[in-house]
Amino acid sequence: MKMKLRYLANSAMLMGALMFSSCAHFLDLEPYSEAVDEAYWNSEEDVEAAVSGGYGLLRAALANHSAYYAYGDIAGTNVFNKFENEDEDWNQMNQFKLDYAIADSETDRPLKQLRNYKLFYRVINQCNRALTKVKQMDDALFDEGKKEQYIGELYFLRGYTYFYMYRIWGELPIVTVSPDDVINSDYVPRSSLADVAALIYSDLEEARTRLPWEYEDNEDFAIRANRGVVFATLAHMAAWDQDYAKCVSACDSILNSDVYALEDGENLANIYKNDSKELIFQLFFNSEEEAPDAASDINWTTVFFLDVLASPYLTADINKEKPNKYLNTSFISSTFSDTTDYRREKFLGYATGGDIIPIKYTDVQLESSSSGSIYIANNYVIFRLADIILLKAEALTAQGKNSGLAISLLNQIRHRANIGDFDGSVSLQRAILNERARELFLEGHRFFDLVRYYYETGTSLLYNVTEANMAKGIHYWPLDPDLFENNSVIRQTSYWQGKI
């Protein structure tokens, strides 16, 4: 194999500034450095820290330059239509002009970093090394069942990370071992979609068989993987691959588990207070230690929340009358057209300067007035129950059967939001897409929903993207030219060859 992921450190403990803490005890563990790696795998506590590091690296990858929202809610969606601060990069992403030229020296530019998967492969490397080491450890070092549970979490983290990259870049280098000598290790070419998908399904199955539904510690609810998180990932993976029967089956496993429950319509804001039973999986950000500053390796953690918010929904110490990323008012007015919709009140508000802003993410705190470091108390909501209900309705409709059940599921979410039944004024597929736009507004789903809608209907609703280009694979991102430096086996994403 030849990949030479030379930007990956040779350590399962590659955390440093990326290893964030939180109020959940398992995320409060101290990181271990590469220097102690070989003398490290001696206790359950060591493994707990290694698994925690995997979650920390995943958070870092999805927070860097607001990656989770850049990929899911900005690129090609037209949810926003005006940007300040590095505006040209964001404008190009919004129009899905991902081949925009950026000088090699401008390494911190958002689009340049977002075309590069190096931070995701740090998660992969963490999981690979930890899987090897944990499997070699004596079972007697662990409480009953814990060793298999840790292995299950590591398989989940690797499977989820590959799943996320799979939807962004499609074909990927498959790396399932952590080389002892990164500098002299081989390069790995990109593998086919089928091979990458097979690895993802395999990792998720390895996780499913090892992880329980229930949490031993309620503080871990929806923060670390359980069987429900695995099924949610599997449901989305199957929907992306147009395996709708598998998607429905995975959704049913969650819906029949009795682990999760929808919030009442009048209490939708509870979803974003981090401990709702509607949550299936969230990435936890809630610590002063996560505040970005000049010494931090990842200093864009909070940018998205601060960019889209403004006074009076920020603390008094942060005086900002206007957002830096402006919502597209045409999109907002068409999406939230029903004045009785609870989500208009719970999800949207007005900045002091008069602009519409998303108020579901408003718990932004100032670490201290003297340092000026800002940290967030909002989490990234990855999966929740309403998403799964609508995803099942989508999969049933895509199969062309059981429209009655699909309508019932759609109406369940509409009723919760205080809007009427599906009235048939648009197709059922379009109605489900529209409902996902309202319900999952700015939760990292819009771009992927629009791609699946194209798969299901042949119609592209992505901004500035034609059906002809969708058929050529434009929706898979290009790789940044930096990845080709001294690497002869990596090839550019098919559509973008010769364009970047």
The Cβ of residue 255 has, within 10 Å, a number of other Cβ atoms equal to 16
Residue 410 exposure: Cα atoms within 13 Å on the Cβ side: 27
3-state secondary structure string across 430-463: HHHHHHHHHHCCCCCCHHHHHHHHHHHHCCCCCC
pLDDT surpassing 50 at residue 486: yes
Q: Which two tokens stand for residue 129?
A: 């090394």
Which residues have C-beta within 8 Å of that of residue 403, sequence separation ≥ 6? Answer: 396, 397, 428
pLDDT surpassing 90 at residue 426: yes
Which residues have C-beta within 8 Å of that of residue 13, sequence separation ≥ 6? Answer: 31, 32, 33, 34, 36, 37, 40, 49, 50, 53, 126
Q: Which band of pLDDT confidence, cut at 50, 70 and 90, is reported for residue 38? A: low
Q: Which two tokens stand for residue 89?
A: 């990069």
By DSSP bridging, strand 172-173 and strand 190-191 are: antiparallel
pLDDT of the residue at 39: 72
pLDDT of the residue at 78: 93
pLDDT surpassing 70 at residue 13: no
First to last CA, the chain: 26
Tell me which residue of 413, 335, 454, 380 sits closest to 78, measured CA to CA: 335
Which residues have C-beta within 8 Å of that of residue 368, sequence separation ≥ 6? Answer: none
The residue among 307 and 241 whose pLDDT is bigger is 241
Spatial distance between the Cα atoms of 480 and 83, rounded to a whole number of angstroms: 22
pLDDT of the residue at 106: 93
Q: Which helix (H) or strand (E) holds 381?
A: strand 380-384
Spatial distance between the Cα atoms of 371 and 365, rounded to a whole number of angstroms: 13
Instruction: Give 187's DSSP letter.
Output: B
Spatial distance between the Cα atoms of 6 and 184, rounded to a whole number of angstroms: 9
pLDDT surpassing 90 at residue 303: no
Q: Which band of pLDDT confidence, cut at 50, 70 and 90, is reported for residue 296? A: very low
pLDDT surpassing 90 at residue 36: no
Q: Which helix (H) or strand (E) holds 356?
A: strand 356-358
Q: Which band of pLDDT confidence, cut at 50, 70 and 90, is reported for residue 228? A: very high
Spatial distance between the Cα atoms of 208 and 212, rounded to a whole number of angstroms: 8
Q: What is the pLDDT of residues 254-268, one digit of tens each?
A: 999 999 999 999 999
pLDDT of the residue at 305: 84
pLDDT surpassing 80 at residue 5: no
Burial of 412 from C-beta contacts in 10 A (0-12 / 13-18 / 19+): middle
Residues 348, 263 contacting (CB under 8 angstroms): no
Spatial distance between the Cα atoms of 93 and 70, rounded to a whole number of angstroms: 8
Torsion of the alpha carbons at 94, 463, 481 and 189, rounded to the nearest 10: 130
Torsion of the alpha carbons at 154, 54, 226 and 259, rounded to the nearest 10: -170
DSSP string, 256-322: TSSS--PPPGGGGGGGGGS--TTEEEEE----GGG---TT-S---TTHHHHHH--TTSS-TTS--SS
Spatial distance between the Cα atoms of 354 and 64, rounded to a whole number of angstroms: 29
Q: Which band of pLDDT confidence, cut at 50, 70 and 90, is reported for residue 318? A: confident
pLDDT surpassing 60 at residue 384: yes
The residue among 369 and 280 whose pLDDT is bigger is 280
pLDDT of the residue at 377: 64
Largest CA distance in the chain: 65
Q: Which band of pLDDT confidence, cut at 50, 70 and 90, is reported for residue 9? A: very low
pLDDT of the residue at 298: 39
pLDDT of the residue at 376: 62
Q: Which band of pLDDT confidence, cut at 50, 70 and 90, is reported for residue 20? A: very low
pLDDT surpassing 60 at residue 223: yes
Structural domains in the chain, CATH included, are: 16-77+85-225+479-496 (1.25.40.390), 385-471 (1.25.40.900)
Residues 127, 51 contacting (CB under 8 angstroms): no
pLDDT of the residue at 187: 83
Least confident range of 24-38, 120-134, 393-407, 482-496: 24-38
Give me the chain's average pLDDT, please.
Answer: 87
